[in-house]
């Protein structure tokens, strides 16, 4: 019985690594129209931020990670998505861990743990307050 459980655990590791990308693709295929409508309803930012909504999040005990759905009308995030490199990108107020392309003009931006769009954080996402 222990050998069977060990085999299942070993087989599940690759699936856990791909959990977020698979979940993102499925959510986008099923509900993209609703998410696009919600994101496009956002007011134009006075600071030049791209239109965005919270897309996903996870965490526990005060260690929260947030993934945002971002509309980029110029596809300026395409290079970041292709290179899979973290960084500070135009239209996003703070450094992000990863950008992924969903389709033309639509991306997810994964912030570092405990960083949130529009709040002053350790990486200074230019929100108001301390």
Residue pLDDT, tens place only, 71-105: 999 999 999 999 988 898 999 988 889 999 999 99
Biggest alpha carbon distance in the chain?
61
Residue 78: the pLDDT is 94
Residue numbers of the chain with a pLDDT score lower than 50 = 5, 7-13, 15-17, 128-130
CA within 13 Å, CB half, 104: 1
Rounded CA gap, 118 and 5, in Å?
A: 45
Residue 124: the pLDDT is 62
Rounded CA gap, 89 and 1, in Å?
A: 50
pTM for this prediction: 0.78
Name the nearest CA neighbour of 20 among 90, 125, 102, 95: 102
Is 69 buried (19+), middle (13-18) or exposed (0-12) by CB count in 10 A?
buried
């Amino acid at each position: 019985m222990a050998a069977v459980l060990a085999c299942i655990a070993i087989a599940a590791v690759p699936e856990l690594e791909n959990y977020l990308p698979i979940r993102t693709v499925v959510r986008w295929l099923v509900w993209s129209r609703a998410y696009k409508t919600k994101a496009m309803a956002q007011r134009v930012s006075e600071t030049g931020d791209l239109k965005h909504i919270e897309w996903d999040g996870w965490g526990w005990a005060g260690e929260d990670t947030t993934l945002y759905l971002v509309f980029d009308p110029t596809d300026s995030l395409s290079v970041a998505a292709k290179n899979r490199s973290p960084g500070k990108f135009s239209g996003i107020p703070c450094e992000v861990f990863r950008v992924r392309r969903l389709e033309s003009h639509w991306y997810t931006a994964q912030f570092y743990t405990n960083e949130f769009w529009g709040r002053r954080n350790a990486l200074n996402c230019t929100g108001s307050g301390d």
